[in-house]
Amino acid sequence: GDSVTQMEGPVTLSEEAFLTINCTYTATGYPSLFWYVQYPGEGLQLLLKATKADDKGSNKGFEATYRKETTSFHLEKGSVQVSDSAVYFCALSDLGGGADGLTFGKGTHLIIQP
């Protein structure tokens, strides 16, 4: 079945540091890939997405590129802020994202220190 593997945290960085959170996936088809973010006490919200190979999703300074050859979708940001502290989930949708929902990684807790 489908699966998503992401680095588990917590990941602690200083403000303005460069961020990479690794994500790799296994899927039978050609999935769409997503990064969701969960701020403390809140539900998940979409951060960015990519629907086909070599697509780059970007939002709020975060980027991730859909790499089919390495089955990866690593999340990057050039200069993190304290407000980026949250849990980040990599996810995939192999059947349209509707009926079967999403397959999530276990989440990476990111802590940014001032």
Partner 1 sequence: EAQVTQNPRYLITVTGKKLTVTCSQNMNHEYMSWYRQDPGLGLRQIYYSMNVEVTDKGDVPEGYKVSRKEKRNFPLILESPSPNQTSLYFCASNWGGFDNEQFFGPGTRLTVL
What are the residues binding partner 1 (CB under 8 A)? 32, 34, 36, 41-46, 49, 51, 89, 93, 96-102, 104-107
Closest separation in Å from C-beta 15 to partner 1: 27
Closest separation in Å from C-beta 31 to partner 1: 8
Nearer to partner 1 (CB atom), residue 17 or residue 111: 111
Closest separation in Å from C-beta 106 to partner 1: 4
Helix (H) / strand (E) element for 111: namely strand 108-113
Long-range contacts of residues 97-101, Cβ cutoff 8 Å, at least 24 apart: 97/32
How many whole angstroms separate alpha carbon 26 and alpha carbon 79? 30
Strand ranges for 11-85 from DSSP E: 11-14, 19-21, 23-26, 32-38, 44-50, 56-59, 62-65, 75-77
Nearer to partner 1 (CB atom), residue 67 or residue 109: 109
Closest separation in Å from C-beta 8 to partner 1: 8
Nearer to partner 1 (CB atom), residue 16 or residue 100: 100
**DSSP category for residue 108:** E
